[in-house]
Amino acid sequence: MRLVEKDNTITQLAEENKILKFKPHKEKAYQNLAHSMFGGEREMYIGGVYPGRIDIVTENMIIEVKCIEEFEQGLGQLQRYCAKLTGTKHEHKLCTLFLYGDVTSQERDILQLIAKKTNTQLIFHQDIKDHIDQDELEFLQQSV
């Protein structure tokens, strides 16, 4: 009887540990986090040549959310959006790239130099717990 209780306790602790260490992989979860931190309008559409949707537009920032591995793509998108907003009420907003994922200090230093040269603000975020969407929860439950 005690052996069964110990096995159940170990299984339960292993599941709780997996949940605590879980990191979502979907950009949407990090967009939710950034939006909860900064507020603003989500998915603002820009038409015309090179149309697209800006992840978040606040009173002071234009924010693109990307994982570290997609830094170049995110920076390119952000620069395109900021250029297209020249001559609009948004032209003086700070172009901000919200990056998530693991990054070494050496990588961070290089990314910050690139951001400085392109007049871009970087925000790094490595841990997220409270902004997981339903898809991520289902993925987590399947892997437990």
Handedness of CA 47, 93, 130, 109 (dihedral sign): positive
* 125, part of any domain: yes
Q: What tens digit of pLDDT does each residue of 104-124 get?
A: 889 999 999 999 999 999 999
Q: Give how many domains the chain has, as a whole number.
A: 1
Q: Which residue has the tokens 């709780």?
A: 16
CA 63, 93, 82, 32: dihedral to nearest 10 degrees? 10
pLDDT of res. 28: 87
81: Cα separation from own chain's centroid = 18
* 109, part of any domain: yes
- Comparing 58 with 28, the larger pLDDT belongs to 58
* 111, part of any domain: yes
* 28, part of any domain: yes
Instruction: Give whichever of 7-16, 23-32, 83-92, 122-131 has the largest mean pLDDT.
Output: 83-92
68: CATH = 3.40.1350
124: Cα separation from own chain's centroid = 9
Q: Which domain holds residue 118?
A: 24-133
* 18, part of any domain: no
| Reported pTM | 0.70
* 128, part of any domain: yes
